Amino acid sequence: MTEVDSSLGVNREFTAMGVVPLPRLRPRRLRCTPAIRRLVAETRVDPADLVLPLFVKEGAAAPREVASMPGVVQHTLESLRRTVEQAVAAELGGVILFGVPLHRDALGSSADSPDGIVATALRRLRSDVGDDFVLISDLCLDEFTDHGHCGLLDRRGRVDNDQTLHRYASIAVSQAEAGAHLVAPSGMMDGQVAVIRQALDVAGHHDVAIMAYAAKYESALYGPFRDAGECRLEGGDRASYQQDPANGREALREVAFDVAEGADIILVKPAMSYLDVVRRVADTVPVPVGAYQVSGEYAMVEAAAARGWIARERVIDELVLSARRAGADIVVTYWALEVAQRLRGQAGLR
């Protein structure tokens, strides 16, 4: 067998025969200039890969910045429309809408109200963008219940999976009728995709797709979101229905169930700490996969950048790229608009 000197990248048998050895292998040749690096880049980010989360607050007179998420605001209906106009101009893939209601109760009644903040916002946005831009609506109850859980509670204070499904079905139809192109169930109830798909089909919304939070972990990185959505728990935690951060195979089971029930897109949340899960899911499912860069990821970067500890734009770009490299077709990120505008600016310079 021919012996190879891996340190030099040459064949020792050839050297013994007096043959001039091949030059040393130098992978760095393909890193010498920005143009060469761009030519051979294995992973790329396009504005259409990005989805921007947006919060709209019922009754708000002016946009209000979320203290734990600098640069992110609770929108008024009008500021929401202006931001979506910017998202359309930047050619983002879409936006995902979260409502912040004035009224909360045990049933989350305002979640499916035709006069609620989500339905009102969706109708206005759909009137603005038609089918030329993708409107996604988060489908959950935590922003709308007075206890902050993602589902209805039974007499013992536990989340009642099956009773919650009835509410999800009603919310899905309400959001579809208001103009959502996709609904995104994020409550991690067993059977939620099947129930929602059936409800949408019975109501005639066959073309409304489901982006399922199929692998949503019980993470400590959601804290700033709960400031933005005003949905902090009054007691307990979500560990009985969100996934254990220790488990990876479990995510594949959850994903398989959701795909079998009719999920059109699978979402993994959070992104940064779960890129291994993104990779495994992307290698497994036949549908597009998204990764959600959550509020805690955003807040950590912004806090470190504000202190001059990191190069902000480079870190943001690296995090978005890493999600794409791990296999995400879609990246849901609070930096979506900024990254898309930067990408368009760079394209204009070339």
- In this predicted structure, the answer to whether residue 209 has a pLDDT above a threshold of 80 is yes
- In this predicted structure, the answer to whether residue 6 has a pLDDT above a threshold of 60 is no
Q: What is the pLDDT of residue 266?
A: 97
Residue 171 vs residues 105, 113, 219, 232, 298: alpha-carbon distances, Å: 15, 8, 25, 21, 28
Catalytic residue among 104, 147, 197, 216: 216
Q: What is the pLDDT of residue 150?
A: 87
The architecture CATH gives domain 45-238+248-349: Alpha-Beta Barrel (3.20)
Catalytic residue among 124, 238, 269, 324: 269
Burial of 345 (0-12, 13-18, 19+ CB in 10 A): exposed
Domain boundaries, the chain: 45-238+248-349
- Predicted confidence band at 226 (pLDDT cuts at 50, 70, 90)? confident
Q: What is the pLDDT of residue 31?
A: 87
227 Cβ neighbours under 8 A, 6+ residues apart? 66, 67, 68, 69
Expressed in percent and rounded to 5, the helix, strand and coil fractions of the chain are 45, 20, 40
Q: Are 306 and 333 in contact (CB under 8 A)?
A: no
Determine the average pLDDT of the residues in 37-63.
94
How far is the C-alpha of 137 from the C-alpha of 196, rounded, in Å?
A: 13
What is the 8-class DSSP label of residue 8?
T
What pTM was computed for the model?
Answer: 0.90
Q: Are 224 and 296 in contact (CB under 8 A)?
A: yes
How far is the C-alpha of 150 from the C-alpha of 108, rounded, in Å?
A: 9
- Predicted confidence band at 4 (pLDDT cuts at 50, 70, 90)? very low
| 216 counts as catalytic | yes
* Residue pLDDT, tens place only, 141-191: 999 998 888 889 999 989 899 999 999 999 999 999 999 999 999 988 999
How far is the C-alpha of 266 from the C-alpha of 168, rounded, in Å?
A: 18
| 57 counts as catalytic | no
Q: What is the pLDDT of residue 23?
A: 64
